[in-house]
Structure 1
Amino acid sequence: MLPDSVLSGFSGVVSVDRGGQVEFASAYGYAHRGYQIPNTVDTRFAIASGVKGLTALTVVSLIVSGVLELSTTARSVLGKDLPLIDDAVTVEHLLAHRSGIGDYCPDEGDFELPASPQNLADTSQYLPFLDGFPQQFAPGTDFAYCNGGYVVLALIAERVSGTPFHTLVRERVCVPAGMTSTDFLRSDEPEPRTAVGYVGDRTNVFHLPVRGNGDGGVYSTTADFTALWSALYNGSIVPPDWVATMTRPHSDQYGLGFWLPGGKVMLEGYDAGVSFRSTHNPSTGLTYTVISNDVEGAWPVTRYLAEILD
């Protein structure tokens, strides 16, 4: 299905499914180059900002449970923390990247951490690094992709629920979706069937937080994204009316946690040693997912799949 010219140097997994039924799935390259451990179709990869969709679903599930509203202001939960965030910023603004808050990590792919990796493991540890960035524009007046906004959402979710963010994602999204291989793994605690990310010839262990959070860093498989799209549209995670709200444009080609290119719904992530895209067409049930342990690896394959499938 995939020509050698597209697969040249590719390390990762490619899957295509329709209506939750896998039509193609294949693995390439190495999960660990040093030990020459090959990737398999059930290898877990970091997906960077692909987690934003899971964060958004977690937050919306809390709204469904009645402990949050789209109109809840960040200030009403944060109190005196992060004083530079405008008092008018709401949960909806944060979900839609329309908050205007200053971003602690403005550009994915720059690979510059605000702290040592081991000091970014729990949501509360991000607080000092989210602070000190002035508001960029009035809430709701513009779109600006904001990683920090999704860490703020994780913090809000923790505080209103009294439950750690990583646990919330597992209980409110992964379990109902049947995403049995998806978790916030620590990079300093090697796990079975988990790919190591690479930046050139070196691993990405010093480039990313030791454990991901609301803006990125969960590990997953292509099969789990087959399960996610199916569960999303059958109402297993949040009710269908909320799915419609989340996948309606709130800005050009973006909803609440999901990209919306040309009538499709997409999650995407890239970072040091990570590239990922999963695209779902609700009208046809077609999904294609590409996941790689290299920053550029997924893009030639996703472009090819878009050409032949879309």
Structure 2
Amino acid sequence: MLLMMGLVRRCHHRKLHDWRRGEAMRRRLWLSLIASLIVQGAMSQAADGSAALREKAVEENLHYLAVIKGRPDPGMSLPDQMSRLHVPGVSIAVIHDKRIDWSKGYGMTRLGGPAVSASTLFSAASMSKPVTAMAVLRLVQEGKIDLDVDVNTYLKSWKIPANEYTKNHPVTVRELLSHTSGIGTHNGMIYDPGKGVPSMLEILDGRPPAATPPVRVESEPGTKYAYANGGYLILELLITELTGKPFAEAMKELVLAPIGMNQSTFEAQLSPAKAKTAATAYEENGTTGYTPAHIVEPNAAAGGLWTTATDYAKFVIELQKEYTGESHRVLNQKIARMMVKAGMGPSESIRWGMGVRVGGTPPQIYFEHGGSAVYQCDMVGYPSGDGVVVLTNGGGGGQLSDQLVRSVAQAYGWPDFQPVEHTVVPVDPSKFGRYVGTYDFIKVTQDGNHLMAEIPLGSKAQELFPESDTQYFLRDAPTRVIFDVNSAGRVTGLVFITTYVHWYREKNP
């Protein structure tokens, strides 16, 4: 097993390898990568050259999330950011007017290996969930599932155990799709097939070789949002039992084939032929890699899709067209609009439909989902016609994906995903010492005149920029840290704020 997919996107709760180990080797490898970085597979769809201009604008104008007031922000190039963030390979497909405007591969499928091309497979990680949700909703459309009845009605080989939380409100399919079932936030784990892969039922009950807790209801269903990989494992069981087919086969028939996602698959372990076309995944240091043959996500519904940027763009375009009534290859307009209707979420600005996060301001709403499981990726789709798919094979691919989405948003004039201006105030570095320490999963350190933080503990330290003596922000993540200082001037804890969470953590003694 390699790592668990985290609740908070871009907070990767995994043990990272020593950053300093093999520094000389990494330098040589990355110099080689930079020297051989090439852009592959250009597939411009615009004969007048306008797509080429937009493509160039995206490649040359990547930005951090935070723009610091009064400081120049000229933008960064994609090759430079791939090098800085140790991302070997990237595949991008940009959607404009409900068609692929352009698509390209950048870098290498593995260090020293072939270049990324349009046919390179990447793990979609949690971007698998929207595709699974579409399959479930097709079964709803066909009258085989009622969204609002007890899901145990349909399950045969395993049922959600009853407990105090389900006594008055059993879990429904709608709640599983929208992360409001009360299922605990666990059960997203990648396994090495050479060390044993658990079955679906072993994961559901938390039995070896499963390395995650059992899938259980931990709060009253329908009362709050809590991202749950385990809920999608139940949906996987539901699909297999209702169709009588293995999950990968059922997904091909229900969604992949009708849309034309011919290179994509939910195979729990890639066939040797497909593994040869897939990118190797790398940890944050950019050199510790895992070949596709050693990566299996048995919770395939939550994170088991292998795809290309152009294939996944077909999914985004199909959902756009179904939403506007222009297509019905999988869903009719009524069901597609149900999928993209905003419900509960961790905040007013972050709300979820069925399988997708929903944002924006009507009529310019969008649906979105990211993925983080060594491979880092993101997708955005506006029903009005624009969108983007970014797939990377690790390193700092999460940051790079976010930067690329922002670059596309600027090049195409989107109302969302724009950099946010912050004001930095001067703080005497002699005050930083009182903040140094560990706060649960956050480690704060001082590096000269800079305050730094490892979020989570063990990851590469990032600079904290001051907005006041006690309030700081990260430049490339929607994250604020507010230190709690008592009347005696002693720091007792901090408040950790993202778009998803608002947590207080005490300072360790």
Q: Name the TM tier (shorter chain).
A: 0.7 to 0.9
Larger deviation: 69-78 or 147-156?
69-78
Change (3 A) 1:211 1:29: farther
Single out whichever of 133-142 and 151-160 deviates more from structure 2: 133-142
Aligned residue among 292, 310, 316 for 1:229: 316
Equivalent of residue 354 in structure 2, options 237, 256, 268: 256
SS in 1 for 2:132: helix
CA–CA distance in structure 2, aligned partners of residues 187 and 210 of structure 1: 11
**AA matched with 2:247:** F
1:29 aligns with: 107
1:282 aligns with 383
Relative contact order, higher structure (CA 8 A, sep 6+):
1
Gaps of at least 5 residues in structure 1 are none
Structure 1 residue 41 displacement after superposition = 2.1
Does residue 183 (structure 1) correspond to residue 265 (structure 2)? The answer is yes
Aligned pair count reads 302
In percent, how many aligned pairs have the same letter?
23
Measure the CA separation in 2 of the matches of 1:113 and 1:102: 20
CA shift for structure 1 position 295:
5.0
Separation of aligned partners in 2, 1:256 and 1:196 = 31
Contact 2:182 / 2:219 at 8 angstroms: preserved in 1?
yes
- Looking at structure 2, the residues matched to 89 and 116 of structure 1 have their Cα atoms a distance apart, in angstroms, of 35
Greater mean deviation of Cα atoms: 229-238 or 257-266 = 229-238
What code does the residue aligned with 1:282 have? P
Instruction: Name stretches of at least 5 consecutive residues in structure 2 with no aligned partner.
Output: 1-55, 60-76, 207-211, 322-326, 346-350, 415-509
Judged with a 3 Å threshold, the aligned counterparts in structure 2 of structure 1 residues 58 and 112 are, in CA distance, closer, same or farther, namely closer
1:298 Cα shift? 4.5
Name the amino acid aligned to 1:287.
Answer: G
Asked which structure has the greater CA Rg, the reply is 2
1:96-245 equivalences under 5 Å are: 96-105=178-187, 118-120=196-198, 123-129=200-206, 132-185=214-267, 186-187=269-270, 189=272, 191=274, 192-199=276-283, 200=285, 201-204=287-290, 208-209=295-296, 213-232=300-319, 233=321, 234-245=327-338
Listed one character per residue, the Cα deviations across residues 99-154 of structure 1 (whole Å, up to 9, x for unaligned) are 0012432xx6xx6769986424x644533337745532110000000000001011
Task: Give, in angstroms, the shift of residue 84 of structure 1.
Answer: 5.0
- Asked if structure 2 preserves the Cα contact closer than 8 Å seen for 1:188 and 1:210, the reply is no
> What value does the CA root-mean-square deviation take over the aligned residues?
2.7
How much has 1:43 moved relative to structure 2? 0.8
- What TM-score, normalized to structure 2? 0.55
- The one-letter amino acid paired with 2:278 is T
Cα contact 1:13–1:28 (8 A) shared by 2: yes
Distance 2:277 2:190 in 1: 27
Matched, 1:6 2:77: no
Aligned equivalents of 1:28, 1:15: Cα separation in 2: 12
Counterpart secondary structure, 1:13: strand
Deviation at 1:7, TM superposition (A): 3.7
Instruction: Measure the CA separation in 2 of the matches of 1:64 and 1:21.
Output: 26
